[in-house]
Structure 1
């Protein structure tokens, strides 16, 4: 088999190992344990002895996020049937919905919320509020949960909340600022779900799509304490000079909260959090560890480039080429794997189709040509959810012959990059990475395999 073909096969195999490590079904199965009478929950996925057991009389099942269906299916298979309080609920994006016996499955929109998601949020609130002391609310959280279960505060419509969020996103507000506002316009986010479940016990199994696994940022933290305030939320708008553009209902709600007429989001010292706990069952860091192990098992020399990769996709690609060039200059005598995980960004200048992973793959191929990268190589950048931007591709997988394929097709790939049209450039060179929806989401993985020329 030609070297490039083998490198491509290895890159895809390594990528799939990262996805498997974040398999939400297996992650939940590893975490929950039961005998005929009770449920035990692992508190630490790296420790088999640290478990939570409340001898709960009833267990209420709630799941939301892109992996909701697979997570709730796994949980239902482990929990003794007589302990289940009634039908559970799973609110999932439309692409990942699956019918499950005794689970109310609701498909909802992501990334923009819709009425179906609002209906799902109402049902989640109802289930949580029905739980009593001595019972457990088991919450299964995965990426996308924030958009999938919108439940605006009283007096604010779903449309007004969406408009407010869009205003912030267009202003370049940080994700922390956006989450601060979301938590103060929602009944579920920022610890709201934990508050509804009290005095019952609550345990969250969390599949993280956030770098660094900041719990209050994952799905906007519905089961954990919130350190931000109404004043902080108002300051986000005033700092961005957006306050006068915010819907009046949102202004009124935030001002009433600042003045103490509306309760703050629950803080870390709240009594209710004595009854809550969580387990991180999957994350980008766990998947990065898995691709390192997979590459090593294929006899590649390992180089971890970054386990929290951020920045503009095109610039990150150029920096990665320079890093690889420096390695080659030092002299390598065996195949090596340069690995990363994280989530880059793209600033839109054109009108093309693509996503951050496709853009990075396209930019990498161009930078490797420009810097005269002398080796056989393959570079893969892919989203673990199988969806990169508004496309059917998970990302891109380019190699040292990609430029030749573009030349043979008589296209100028630089023009495609300038137009943010990575999808069509990679489609022409047959370098799209297609996996289909994976049912999980732990950000992105990057794999650069290099075979030095003899």
Structure 2
């Protein structure tokens, strides 16, 4: 049994790495910029190109863009803004590390530099924006009257109450000069082309990094409703509430809406996504002779509830037992409503919850479950997520930790660490949301 579980664990980790590798940002950028249909690089050949890259994959994307563009004489010095653990020197660029998931002062300074570069771009020149997940938090550029501290407080409030990424981004857009099409507004009258690595499930370009280069259909009233629907409006900073209410009354400029003339000079290209990584995991599992299915390509909801539902769905399919090795693959981004004071992220919480659900409902086979972030980070930890099996809970209890109590206290990190059940791969330089892998194997004597 122990040997079989060890094999399943290594296979599960290998499949996850295949999913991360498929989101390699350098390959995706080079493929796009070398495409003969990319009209921005086959006209105005003497025009200057201003490159700005922001997000967890920014360094890799910028390096690839520099290599793909034919001549250095067109390139202005570029700017890269990424998370501290993804900072890598790139020739021709100023690289700035900034805070994520909560913005910080470095991010504000970086946002000011990005805005200045866009404002300095002239007609017939090109601003090439390389955008990846995490870009929203990395470029905080609050509207007048909102301090960075107030914006951080609003973000923390929404993260803690279980707001999903679209809800958080709706608020961010209405408190920012860059998000919700703001970057396109700053870059005009220059041309703007955005190459986008998606970390959202439906690849909605208005949601990735809070849509700095695309139209936004949400309103100030929608932003207010996010707080009210989560019952935290009264806890929001006064300046935030005041600004949003004034905006809803028509006293502040709305985000850029569909049909704005500015977007005639703007192009967006999706170059990588979570669904591509899910497909790569699927292929890797099939190649190892697992009977492979896609469980869900848009996995959302409260992490612990999603874990238990998956377990129940899986058990319900095993009416006649399991006869051959199987794999179920998912991709998405769950949420966690924080009620305790422990440590962990949504992937670690989902892994621990799955282990508890498997014990509670007696999953009748050997199994290994992994939930991890493609960026190599899960919440406020240095781990990518968790990987659990039928032995995990016993190891946690042997370490003197009650796993049920740990889950209730949002302390999945402590529990999984005690069982050597954390997924540690380091910063990956990419980000296309999360991957989940469930491997099933018949019991062996």
Q: What does the per-residue CA deviation read over 1:275-316, in whole Å, with 9 as the maximum and x for residues that have no partner?
A: 111111111111111111111111110121111111222222
Residue 8 of structure 2 corresponds to which residue in structure 1? Answer: 7
* Equivalent in 13, 26, 41 of residue 38 of structure 2: 41
SS at match of 1:92: strand
Give the structure 2 partner of residue 346 of structure 1.
336
Equivalent-residue separation in structure 2 for 1:219 and 1:413 (angstroms) = 35
Contact 1:64 1:148 survives alignment (8 Å): yes
Within 5 Å, give how 1:267-416 maps onto structure 2: 267-406=257-396, 408-409=398-399, 411-416=401-406
Number of aligned pairs?
442
Partners of 1:354 and 1:168 in 2: CA distance: 17
Match of 2:126 in 1: 136
Secondary structure of 2:94's partner?
strand
Contact 1:125 1:196 survives alignment (8 Å): yes
The separation in 2 between residues aligned to 1:95 and 1:447, in whole angstroms, is: 26
Shift of residue 235, structure 1, vs aligned partner: 5.4
TM-score, structure 2 length as denominator?
A: 0.91
- Please list the CA deviations of residues 231-285 of structure 1 after superposition, one character each: whole Å capped at 9, or x if unmatched: 4445556777877766565456446545555433222111111111111111111
Deviations 1:302-341 (A, max 9, x none): 1211111112222222222222223332344321101111
- Give the drift of 1:81: 3.0
Query: Closer, same or farther in 2 for the Cα pair 1:243/1:400, shift >3 Å?
Result: closer
Q: What corresponds to 1:77 in structure 2?
A: 67
Residues 11 and 262 of structure 1: CA distance in aligned 2, closer, same or farther (over 3 Å): same
Give the distance between the partners of 2:320 and 2:429, measured in 1 at CA: 41
Unmatched segments (≥5 aa) in structure 1: 43-50
Asked whether the equivalents of residues 59 and 83 of structure 1 are also in contact (C-alpha less than 8 Å), the reply is: no
Please identify, of 59-68 and 234-243, the stretch whose mean Cα deviation from structure 2 is larger. 234-243
For structure 2, the residue ranges without an aligned partner over 5 or more in a row are none
Task: Spell out the pairing of 1:55-454 with structure 2 (5 A cutoff).
Answer: 55-56=44-45, 57-169=47-159, 175-234=165-224, 249-250=239-240, 253-254=243-244, 257-258=247-248, 260=250, 262-406=252-396, 408-409=398-399, 411-453=401-443
Q: Deviations over 1:100-142 (max 9, x none)?
A: 1110101111122112111111111111122222221110111
Distance in 2 separating the partners of 1:145 and 1:433: 24
Question: Is residue 118–residue 187 contact of structure 2 (8 Å, CA) maintained in 1?
Answer: yes
Q: Residues 85 and 298 of structure 1: is their aligned pair in 2 closer, same or farther, counting only changes over 3 Å? A: same
Distance 2:218 2:310 in 1: 36
Answer yes or no: is the 8 Å Cα contact 1:237–1:243 preserved in 2.
yes
- Counterpart CA distance in 1 for 2:393 and 2:145 is 56
Q: TM-score, normalised by structure 1?
A: 0.89
Kindly state the Cα deviation for residue 425 of structure 1 after the two structures are TM-superposed.
Answer: 1.8
Contact 1:191 1:224 in 2 (8 A): yes
SS at match of 1:329: coil
Choose 220-229 or 158-167, whichever is displaced more.
158-167
What is the rounded CA distance, in whole Å, between the counterparts of 2:112 and 2:98 in structure 1? 13
CA shift digits 1:15-72 (9 cap, x unpaired): 00110111112221222117xxxx8639xxxxxxxx9744442211001111111111
Instruction: Evaluate the alpha carbon distance shift between residue 428 and residue 257 of structure 1 in structure 2; reply closer, same or farther with a 3 A threshold.
Output: closer
**Cα distance, 1:354–1:296 mapped onto 2, change above 3 Å:** same
TM-superposed CA distance for 1:433, in Å, is 1.2
Asked if the contact 2:48/2:76 (under 8 Å) is kept, the reply is no
Inter-partner Cα distance in structure 1 for 2:222 and 2:365: 52
**SS of residue paired to 1:287:** helix
User: Matched residues in 2 for 1:430 and 1:252: separation?
Assistant: 48
